[in-house]
Amino acid sequence: MSRHRQQLATALDALDRAFASEGPFAVTGCTHCYGDQDLAALSGPLDLIADDLLSAVAAEVPSHWDDFPRLYRRLAPRIVRLAVTGRLHVDENLIASRLVAAGWTTWDAPLTSALHEVWAAWWQAALHARPGPVSIREILSLITVATGALRPWLDIWTDTRTETADTQLAELVDDVLVEYEITELRMGFYDEYDASAELLSWLLTEVRDRADDARLDEPYLLDTMREIGEG
């Protein structure tokens, strides 16, 4: 296992330990969608909750639960681990939106710190090894929406001068330049984060020498960046 993959595994294990204090409680909610057996399972030991039930709850709208923030906080270490390892089978953008809705940045410091460590370790692992179970764009979107900031992750990418990071960059550029999506690029399941200005400026200035794609020289993109700067 590579050093960065090991650091990610360590961060995920630390996440489990940090959230160990979030004990079981009587989960109540929509009995039309979740039967007594499901609610009993969610109210029991965390490691005994089936993956398919966990995936369903991870994606569920907050209004289905009487205490959504507490439920999502308790399930967070398993949800995040499955998402990071590509085994949750739920849109990564939706997980970020649900974490924000659960107010994860207001949780106790040990919990938020452990989650921040996972975001950082996951990002570093993604930039140093590929292919991973989750695409670079989806990872960037999740951690950007979850933390409410894109720039710190772009700065790390700028500083990561590896063949893998440049390959990931080429894939991202090709992805966002399809029909020039970059000019109206939003992140998050609900399009919460407008990433166009930051990402376009970064691509055209800070990493242009590493992105070998002639489409980045289109006058339309340069004009768009100029308009953004004047706005």
Structure confidence at residue 181 (pLDDT)? 87
Tokens of 158: 């700028």
Contact 134, 83 (CB under 8 A): yes
Structure confidence at residue 178 (pLDDT)? 85
Strand-pair partners of 186: 194
Structure confidence at residue 146 (pLDDT)? 97
* DSSP summary character for residue 63: G
Structure confidence at residue 231 (pLDDT)? 56
Low-confidence ranges of the chain (pLDDT < 70): 1, 229-231
Q: How far apart are the first and last CA of the chain?
A: 47
Structure confidence at residue 212 (pLDDT)? 87
CA distance 154 to 203: 10
- pTM for the structure as a whole: 0.94
Strand-pair partners of 194: 186
* DSSP summary character for residue 65: B
